[in-house]
Amino acid sequence: MATSFGALCNDFYVNQKLALKMDLPSDRETVLHLFDRVRKTHSTMTRFRRYDEELALESSRQDGDYEWLALRRTSLRTGHVNPPSMEQAYSLHKLLLEIAPYHLTISPLDVDYLELLFGFDLECMANHDEVIYDALLGHSPVADLLHVPQAKITEVQPVFGLSLSEAGDLQATFEVKTRTKTRRGRASRRYREEPISLFLTLRKYGPIDQIEDLAGIFDRLAHWAETLAVEKLVPNLLTPIARQITSSNA
């Protein structure tokens, strides 16, 4: 995988969500016209699927590099997993912001928020929560808070939020996601081989003045996401967690 972010983890992905206040049209002709238009530009997206409360168009997952589009009642989501470049990572997202408003009659007043997410998956066979505890808390006061004789760490999933604008309409969130445990704190067999996930989410709340403004908002979110990933997430979350995973496996 060519992206520098992808070289730091097992899987890197870029997801977008356009959240709306009113229901999107779901009639057969409208949806098929939109999906056919996407397929003309992204020719590998040939799998049309129906899930609970979701219609999806996906590419093959054989090579690890794949794209997907999901239409729900009040949101339109897109994603690219293991993109060869950041330009390609953004391609599907930009296309949907350009064409979806006209296929789905989306109004500027209808926009609740636009969200861009960078995801980093790290394979970890050790106890996820103990790894995060050791990697991020160390000798901090919070570590001492959780240091109880004969007790076992059962959940460490920190979330940190920032407001990036004076009005509070542009926000960033750093999140560490560990996988599900049983009620007794043991790793569930179902999730034993699941990764630790790190999420950087940028969100710009609406309404917007013109539907064409979505393209500029996306560029702003992408700039913030790349900056925060390079300057904050990688050195302060990803690197120490990756080192701890290596140490735990040694």
pLDDT in tens, 166-222: 999 999 999 999 986 555 555 555 555 789 999 999 999 998 999 999 999 999 999
CA atoms within 13 A on the CB side of 157: 10
What value does the mean pLDDT of the chain take?
92
What pLDDT does 182 receive? 55
The residue ranges of DSSP E strands in the chain, in sequence order, are 11-20, 45-51, 54-59, 66-71, 75-81, 111-122, 159-163, 170-177, 196-205
Q: What percent of the chain has pLDDT over 90?
A: 80
The reply to whether 50 falls in a domain is yes
What pLDDT does 188 receive? 53
Cα-to-chain-centroid distance, residue 208: 23
Which pLDDT band holds residue 143 (cuts at 50, 70, 90)? confident
Count of structural domains, the chain: 1
Q: What's the rounded Cα separation, in Å, for the pair 42 and 21?
A: 28
Query: For residue 180, what is the DSSP state?
Result: P
Comparing C-alpha atoms, which of 162, 153, 98 is closest to residue 130? Answer: 153
| Residue in the block written with tokens 């960033």 | 172
What pLDDT does 248 receive? 82
Judge whether residue 6 has pLDDT over 60: yes
Judge whether residue 95 has pLDDT over 70: yes
- We report the CATH number of the domain holding residue 23 as 3.30.160.110
What pLDDT does 180 receive? 62
The reply to whether 26 falls in a domain is yes
What pLDDT does 187 receive? 53
The reply to whether 83 falls in a domain is yes
The reply to whether 57 falls in a domain is yes
Q: What's the rounded Cα separation, in Å, for the pair 190 and 78?
A: 27
- Kindly state the average pLDDT of the residues 153-173: 95
Q: Which domain holds residue 77?
A: 6-249
Contact 89, 117 (CB under 8 A): no
The reply to whether 1 falls in a domain is no
205 forms beta bridges with 113
- Kindly state the average pLDDT of the residues 136-145: 89
Between the alpha carbon of residue 7 and those of residues 27, 84, 120, 234, the distances in Å are 42, 11, 10, 12
The reply to whether 11 falls in a domain is yes
Comparing C-alpha atoms, which of 168, 170, 169, 192 is closest to residue 179? Answer: 192
- Tell me the per-residue pLDDT of 221-235, one tens digit each, with 9 for 90 and over: 999 999 999 999 999
111-122 vs 159-163, strand pairing mode: unpaired
Q: In 10 A of CB 182, how many CB atoms?
A: 12
The reply to whether 204 falls in a domain is yes
The reply to whether 40 falls in a domain is yes
